[in-house]
Amino acid sequence: MFRRLPDAPVLTVSIAVDGLEVSARAGETVAAALLAAGFGAFRTTGVSGASRGPYCMMGVCFDCLVAIDGVGSRQACLVQVREGMRVETQRGRRPVGS
């Protein structure tokens, strides 16, 4: 989806996305890290099951929703990566209580 320019410093943060290890740059958002790692679709919709990925990257479209550390429907474009973070792409609606 996206490639990193040589400007970006060494990737020092490690997160797990659907169980796979993904390297990220400290300070960047979960959405940026996933896009650079080749994830295009972040979730499927609760209405038709269609695939969606980030559209606005500024917190207004809600298409980048993922589960972060067990909490569903987080806006990946508003959350910064943290060492050891567990991210899961989301299927349909967020289950009640998660």
Partner 1 sequence: MSGPLIKDRYELAVIGAGPAGMAAAITAAEIGVDTIVLDEQATPGGQIYRAIGETPLRDPAILGEAYWKGTTLLEAFHASAAQYVPQATVWTASADGEIGVSVGGSVRMLKAKRMILATGALERPFPIQGWTLPGVMTAGAAQILLKSAAMVGNGRVVLAGTGPLLWLIAAQYLRAGGTFAAILETTLRGNIARSLPFLPAFLRSSYLREGFELVSEVRRSANLVRSVIALRAGGGDRLTDVTYRTGGGLEVTVRADMLLLHQGVVPNVNLALALGCQHTWNETQLCFTPALDAWGQSSVATVAIAGDGAGIAGAVAAEERGRLAALGAAFQLGHLDKVTRDRMAAPHQGALRQAQRGLRFLDRLFRPAKRFRLPRGQTLVCRCEEVTARQVRDAAAMERIGPNQLKAYLRCGMGPCQGRLCGLTVTELLADAHGVSPDEIGYYRLRPPVKPITVGDLASLPKTAADIAAVERS
Q: Does 10 bind partner 1 (CB under 8 A)?
A: no
**Smallest separation, CB 76 to partner 1 (Å):** 12
Report CA dihedral (62, 58, 18, 45) to the nearest 10 degrees: 20
Nearer to partner 1 by C-beta: 1 or 16?
1
Which amino acid makes up residue 52? R
Q: What are phi and psi of 86, to 5 degrees?
A: -105, 120
Q: How would you classify the pairing of strands 86-91 and 65-68?
A: antiparallel
Site size toward partner 1 (CB under 8 A) is: 39
Exactly one of 19, 21, 48, 70 binds partner 1 (CB under 8 A); that residue is 48
What whole-number distance in Å separates Cα of residue 92 and Cα of residue 74? 13
Residues at the site binding partner 1, with contacts judged by CB under 8 A: 1-5, 7-9, 25, 27-29, 32, 35-36, 40-42, 45, 47-48, 50-63, 65, 73, 78, 80
